[in-house]
Amino acid sequence: MHIPFTKLHGNGNDFILIDETAGTVIPDEMKPGFAALYCDRRFGIGGDGVLFLLPSESADVRMRLFQQDESEAEMCGNGIRCLAKYAHDAGYVQETCTVETMAGTMPVSMGYDEEGEFWAEIEMVDPAYERSAIPAIGEGEYKEQIGPFTVYAANTGVPHAVIFVDDVSAIDVAAAAPQVRRHPSFAKGANVNFVEVTGEASIRIRTFERGVEGETESCGTGATASAAIAHRLGLVGAEVAVETNGGPLVITCGERTLMRGPAETVFSGVIEG
């Protein structure tokens, strides 16, 4: 076994990337187990998921993402930025490209700034608020009282629950999130975001991710859902600075929903055995 890989992160949301542009490296039936093994931070490489970069018949590149619980995620905003950085650095794409995901095809603009830092801006799928699109049981837009929390929800490629709190640092995410993440109203479960509005154009969030089954340093689709719902409720304007534990993102709400943020390569290596 000789498997090259690259480790990347977007605001601390970290991924192992396997390049399959030249052909299959990990057979499809082995991808879930591969993610479970190598995402482990003690016995593997460590990561929130494994990104597979593949050729696409309809876009410039294709992304698949498997998580440590062996599930395949529909898409991931931070993951797309990491995949775009790898594809850009490898010469597969230039300053713009399209990325095929299970949630649709995402246009991406990217490059390096004057300080040599990589950034990417993704045109996200339009947030869906109807329960049928999240998916959630019932009709109309989602708003439920779950335990002590008033919960809103949207699908920004994956389902996200959004809870507004006075102080996100005071929330025990590990204890509070699971009752929402697995609430029977969510047909496929949901990621859970605790959101503090910190200004007219800023929020701070903490996210418990489905599939990871724990809090992650950052979540691009969660930042998008949180900003979109906050804007929809009139709590912030159309351009929202989002502070995550791992760093900043900028979400623009409007005719197009945009997410802008960094991505970094951590190291590359080879799995041998």
Domain identity same for 162 and 139 = yes
Same domain, residue pair 75 and 148? no
One domain for residues 147 and 240: yes
Residue of 82, 97, 219, 253 with catalytic role: 219
* pTM for the structure as a whole: 0.88
Domain that holds residue 21: 2-122+261-272
pLDDT tens for 206-247 read 999 998 999 999 999 999 999 999 999 999 999 999 999 999
Q: How many independent structural domains does the chain possess?
A: 2
Token pair, residue 110, equals: 């990217």
Q: Does 159 share its domain with 113? A: no
> From CA 218, how far away is CA 201, in angstroms rounded?
19
Q: Quick one: 159 and 220 in the same domain?
A: yes
- CA–CA separation, 64 vs 31, rounded Å? 10
Asked whether residue 61 carries a pLDDT value surpassing 90, the answer given is: yes
Do residues 250 and 242 lie in contact, with contact meaning Cβ atoms separated by under 8 Å? yes
| Residue of 39, 76, 97, 253 marked active site | 76
Question: Binding site for substrate: which residues?
Answer: 13, 67, 77-78, 191, 209-210, 220-221
Tell me, yes or no, whether 137 and 250 share the same domain. yes
Residues 43 and 94 in one domain: yes
Q: Is 219 designated active site?
A: yes
Residue 13 C-alpha from the chain's centroid = 8
Same domain, 152 and 189: yes
82 is catalytic: no
Question: What sign has the CA pseudo-torsion 107, 80, 269, 12?
Answer: positive
User: What are the residue ranges of helices labelled H in the chain?
Assistant: 31-38, 77-89, 173-176, 178-181, 220-232
- What does pLDDT average to over the chain? 96
pLDDT given for residue 211 in this prediction: 87
Residue 268, domain CATH: 3.10.310.10
- 21 shares its domain with 79: yes
- Distance (Å, whole) CA 14 – CA 245: 13
